[in-house]
Amino acid sequence: MQALAGKVCVITGGAGSLGLAAARLFVDEGARVVLVDLSLAALEEASRDLPAVQVMLVAADVSSAQDTERYVQLAVERFGAIDVLFSNAGNFGTVAPIADYPLDIFDAVQAVHVRGALLAAKCAVPHMRDGGSIVITSSVAATRGDAGVYAYITAKHAQVGLMRCLAKELAPRRIRVNTVHPGPIDNGFQLAVEQGLGEAIGADGTEFFNGLIPLGRHGRPEEIARSVLYLASDQSSFVTGTTLMVDGGMSC
């Protein structure tokens, strides 16, 4: 039996590797999916192999209240009430000493990760079916602190607080809310992070991260997506308010 048969799922950050991997898996499991990202062209390119009858593409800025209201309304108009919200949009920012950290970059990262996740829930929850699921992509970064990574790590910690508040509020409706915490993923987003780190430490950033992971490698988007599917589906019917680590043991 398909785990998401007939369910309506909204995925932000839909053109990225994790959003797309989740979309493919959700479609295979019977869902109708609304993919949201900043660029329609990127969405169209990424989703070529997905069945148009099950997938809707919407270009939107997740930090904009107006854009968020619009993509939620379009999702409801096309497919009906929402069962799953996968709040996955993200950006990294930069690495710099606190005295030099650019405030505009700090604000931009909070706007996407924290404001974006809050807006998604604020606009989607009134249109969600009871018994649904909200999954927020946080990170292993939410379990640690690293000098210079002020915007990203702060945002990832904040998402956990948001998740816990939502989990308490929405429990009477049986809407479960959880965060998923990937470690380094083998994708373009992580590669850009590692190139910046490599320049800062004078070493190979990818090998540096592999050395921190007990399993000794980066995760694959498909592996993280399977954990998202677990949280999105009724397989996790008694799981809410939790932080699911999918990091190869990096947070041990």
pLDDT in tens, 93-132: 998 999 999 999 999 999 999 999 999 999 999 999 999 9
Residue 109 lies in a domain: yes
Handedness of CA 152, 134, 70, 4 (dihedral sign): positive
pLDDT tens-digit readout, 123-166:
999 999 999 999 999 999 999 998 899 999 999 999 999 999 99
pLDDT over 80 (residue 205): no
Residue 88 DSSP label: -
Active site residues: 152
Residue 207 lies in a domain: no
Q: Pick left, alpha or beta for residue 249 (phi over 0 → left; psi -120 to 50 → alpha; otherwise beta).
A: left
Q: Pick left, alpha or beta for residue 59 (phi over 0 → left; psi -120 to 50 → alpha; otherwise beta).
A: beta
Q: Enter the pTM of the model.
A: 0.95
Residue 213 lies in a domain: no
Domain that holds residue 111: 8-184+220-246
Residue 112 lies in a domain: yes
Angle at 18 between CA 70 and CA 249, to 5 degrees: 135
Band of residue 211 on the pLDDT scale cut at 50, 70, 90? confident
Residue 208 lies in a domain: no
Residue 198 lies in a domain: no
Residue 58 lies in a domain: yes
pLDDT score for 143: 96
pLDDT score for 27: 98
Angle at 98 between CA 97 and CA 99, to 5 degrees: 95
Residue 203 lies in a domain: no
HSE, CB side, 13 Å, CA atoms: give it for residue 74.
17
Whichever domain contains 139, its CATH number is 3.40.50.720
Q: Answer yes or no: are the C-beta atoms of 138 and 117 closer than 8 Å.
A: no
pLDDT over 80 (residue 201): no
Number of structural domains found in the chain: 1
Band of residue 196 on the pLDDT scale cut at 50, 70, 90? low
CA distance 63 to 7: 25
